[in-house]
Amino acid sequence: SRSRFVFSYAKGAHNADSVSLLRDRGCVLAVTNRPSIATIAPDTLLNLPRLDANHLPTDASAPPNQWTMRA
């Protein structure tokens, strides 16, 4: 049995049933593959967007991009 775990939806695929299943099993946070800055609220914790490393600059001297500007 697991409790208080974090989950990443395979390929970001999820629906109300998968969210309910995770909630019932004690998941506290789940991420999708939808690129965005997460807004943390109780009703969004099992449907959070995320940024992939490919969304961020790879060079320290690179100019800010849309994601680093929003963060």
Q: pLDDT tens digits, residue range 29-69?
A: 999 999 999 989 999 999 999 988 888 888 889 998 888 88
Per-residue pLDDT band for 1 (boundaries 50, 70, 90) equals low
**What are residue 70's phi and psi, to 5 degrees?**
-75, -30
Q: Kindly report the pTM of this predicted structure.
A: 0.78
Segments in the chain forming alpha helices (H): 16-24, 66-70
